[in-house]
Amino acid sequence: MEGKTQPPLVELQKSAIKDGAAFRNSGGGAYNHNFFWLEMAPTGKGGKPSEKLAKAIDDSFGSMDDFKTKFEAAGAPGARFGSGWVWLVVDGDKKLAITSTPNQDNPLMDGVEGTAGIPILGCDVWEHAYYLKYQYRRPDYIKAWWDVVNWDQVSAWYEDALGGKAPTADSATSAAALSGTRTNPSSSFSLKLGFEANARYGS
């Protein structure tokens, strides 16, 4: 990509599997983790699903409790062996679906395992996400994770997904979320998939 304008990270996802390991693993990992930071909030600060999203969850899964049970089951070691992610997506019919992907794949990628769609919620079930606190107890980690889901963000992404727009999950926005600051116009982030990253934030 030397000498070319860096496309938005979200635009690299569709063809990532076809484009090779750097795009699939590094590009997918960058997108997935940025997404992950943005969809979380301090305990008690994440709000609740919008009425529209709550109704869609009830229509698709029976209830919020049933949805959580099915989501947790999809992320359990017996369902997603090894490393990967579990997702709530808006599929091509504008319906909600639960799916999981291996490694750093995500539902935006052409040819992905599972249900393709626009992700609006995703849980990292790589062991490094939970081992220090939960060791091998992945189900306990997923249950505790609900306490920090940012339902305000997920609800906004749901509205976008109904219109065909995927979360951008760009690095500047993710970094601002992690530091508790707003995105600054003078902030910039450049990512080269040849494993070279350069970040610069304005004062």
Token pair, residue 113, equals 């395992």
14 pLDDT tier (thresholds 50, 70, 90)? very high
pLDDT over threshold 90, residue 178: no
pLDDT at 136: 73
Q: Average model confidence (pLDDT) for the chain?
A: 82
81 pLDDT tier (thresholds 50, 70, 90)? low
Token pair, residue 133, equals 């606190």
Q: Nearest to residue 179, comparing CAs of 33, 37, 1?
A: 37
* SS3 (DSSP) at 41: coil
SS3 letters across 158-200: HHHHHCCCCCCCCHHHHHHHHHCCCCCCCCEEEEECCCEEEEE
Contact 89, 117 (CB under 8 A): yes
pLDDT in tens, 110-129: 999 999 999 999 999 866 66
